[in-house]
Homo-oligomer: A and B are copies of this chain.
Amino acid sequence: MLVWLYLDSLEIENFNDKYVFVTGCDSGFGNLLCKRLDRKGFRVLAGCLTEKGADDLKRVAGPYLKTVLLDVTSQDSIQKAMEWTKKEVGERGLWGIVNNAGRSLPMGPSEWMKVEDFHSTLKVNMNGVIAMTMTFLPLIKQARGRIVNVASVLGRVAANGGGYCISKFAVESFSDCLRRDISYFGIKVCIIEPGFFKTAVTSLEPLERELHRLWNQLTPEVQASYGDKYLDKCNISVGYI
């Protein structure tokens, strides 16, 4: 109890010499986090997938927030972002990295997925987190920093067919191993497991669009095994999530 009171009383100081790199800052949690950290005075380095995302974020942020174009599915793009970050942070190293970039779709009945449908999600949510973490690790080690990986409640409960749950289970495992392996160096590894928040990840319209795409790529035999009305029922239940 006393320990908790003590821990709650701890506060981070000197925000303005602390660099935090966040991935997936075009929208959603990443975008909100950047604005929040920026207002508090942190030195925010925001990885954005699109020029538009970067421009929009810069427009609403203070003069210290910087953006860099980053596609976490490309090792080349990650390497470039790391070299840019290295110059930005200099001797201090990187105080924190938040692996937030992710996608949820396609989601749907497992049988409706082609092999590549699993990988379009895994590439971002799993491979992206591994590649970002391992590439930025020397900068984090330099600052005895922290790594924050955005997992999900679906990293504990396998509820939906497709790559999403698999990728989040993978992030849980990767983070657990890494935490133990580098705690000796004073580096913390945290995960966040959001439920159903109102971001693009839980938006219904693209989910339904993807279900239709998946349905249409099935053979007539497989479609017949589900029955004509299956997709309609599916849409109705999606509507009630």
Contact = CB atoms under 8 A, between A and B. Distances in A.
A134 B165 CA distance: 17
A127 B118 CA distance: 9
Protomer copies: 2
A181 B161 contact: yes
A159 interface: yes
B158 A166 contact: no
Contacts of A134: 113-115, 118
Interface string A173-188: 1101110011001000
14 contacts: A75-B115, A110-B178, A111-B137, A115-B130, A115-B134, A119-B127, A158-B177, A160-B177, A161-B178, A162-B177, A166-B170, A166-B173, A167-B170, A169-B173
Interface of A: 75, 109-111, 113-115, 118-119, 126-127, 130-131, 134-135, 137-138, 141, 158-162, 165-170, 172-174, 176-178, 181-182, 185, 221-222, 225
